[in-house]
Amino acid sequence: MALEAILINKVRSFLTTLGIIIGVFSVIVMIGFGQASQAYITDQVKGLGAGVLIVTPGNPKTQSFGPPGVNTTKTLTIDDAESLESISEIRYVSPNAFVQTLIKNENNTIPAIVIGTHPNVQQARGLNIKEGRFFTLQEAKSASKVIVLGYKLAQDLFNKTFHNPLGVKIKIENQRYRVIGILEPQGSGLFGSVDDQAFMPTKTFQQGVRAGKNLNSIFIKVKSEDLLSVTEKKVISRLRFLHKIREDEDDDFKVQTQAELLKTVSVVTQVFTFLLAGIAAISLIVGGIGIMNIMLVSVTERTREIGVRKAVGAKRRDILIQFLIESSSISLLGGSIGIIIGLSLTKIITKFANLPFVISPIAVIGAFLFSACVGIFFGLYPANKASKLDPVDALRYE
């Protein structure tokens, strides 16, 4: 009888279900997107290798969020990086500096992030060349005016000229740089979207793009993972000596291992995911209120029907269960459809965003159970109201 009542009022039942559908698929998509982002960034960090130290400017007691080196503190310099190269346990040191600026090719001007770095960043970040080559160690030492462009940046810069970008000189801050390579499409990661970035030697960057010796970060690759702890202590000791920091003073730099960076990334992405899921869950509450309103209307419309049933022997429990089945069925149907749409939409979004498709069983089961609870909770009041109707008054209701 409850299911028949739902089928008789198809449009009203669909509109009632719609609120739950939107709420559930929003929760699924938000959690799915958040977890996909976390998985991708985690892979990016692991791709740096286990024997990696990342040094960034700033007080280590200050909590920072975002990619390493994204701050305004200027306590690391190219001299620091060059001094660290002499530590025996270190395989290589990669000094990094970046700035957002304008890149110009003829009449086409594009905003982009220009990064000054070491040639070993290609291996450290897994940068694959589509055309041309990456700059060499000799070019880095001699501050050659060469540049490697991200895939999308190259397309945007040269889409109006229709010729091969390799060998062409582009303009940054009134200086010209020769394009020697185009990267393969990479997508977004821990350090932003590589497709919209440009890479050049650190010395070239500091001589032309942003004057000064300041760095945003220093990547250190250790010869062996077993030497990580010893190397970290030596790096801290060397930098404290170079920066003339007294024993009673805090460091003006941070040294993070891969594990510490993963922990930071995990905390940030989890907060982000829960925030999105919390916002999406509000729509589930709104959908539940919609169910309650419709069920109250249904109780009012079917007052005489309830009176007849109670007059021929239906108990209060029977009426209560009937209306609870109606509200729960609507909610569970909406939850099921919402899960299917949510998973499908998450797969599409992650595919276009080049992110891994991560299914969270907890999120799916939780959204389904939550939709069931919403149906029972918000259907309880109308059902209870219907079950308490006096049969005589109900039969006389017009």
Q: Which two tokens stand for residue 227?
A: 């030497």
What are the beta bridge partners of residue 110?
103
| Residue that the structure tokens 């086409």 belong to | 108
pLDDT in the model for residue 291: 76
- What integer pLDDT is reported at residue 65 of this predicted model? 46
The predicted-structure confidence for 243-255, as pLDDT tens digits, reads as follows 988 888 888 888 8
SS (H, E, C) 115-181: EEECCCHHHHCCCCEEEECCCCHHHHHCCCCEEEECHHHHHHHHCCCCCCCCCCEEEECCEEEEEEE
Q: What is the mean pLDDT of the chain?
A: 80
Residues in a beta bridge with 147: 179
Predicted confidence at residue 34, as pLDDT, reads 77
pTM beyond 0.75: the answer is: no
Asked if pLDDT for residue 25 goes beyond 70, the answer is: yes
Tell me the one-letter amino acid at 3.
L
264 or 351: which leads in pLDDT:
351
Q: What percent of the chain is predicted at pLDDT more than 70?
A: 87
| Domain limits, the chain | 2-42+265-395, 74-251
Task: Decide if 135 contacts 178 (C-beta within 8 A).
Answer: no
The proportion of the chain whose per-residue pLDDT surpasses 90, expressed as a percent, equals 11
Q: For 7-11, 165-169, 240-244, 345-349, which range has the lowest pLDDT when averaged over its residues?
A: 7-11
Q: What is the mean pLDDT of residues 350-369?
A: 77
The mean pLDDT of 257-272, rounded to a whole number, is 72
pLDDT band at 138; cut points 50, 70, 90: very high
User: Per-residue confidence at 160, pLDDT binned at 50, 70, 90?
Assistant: low
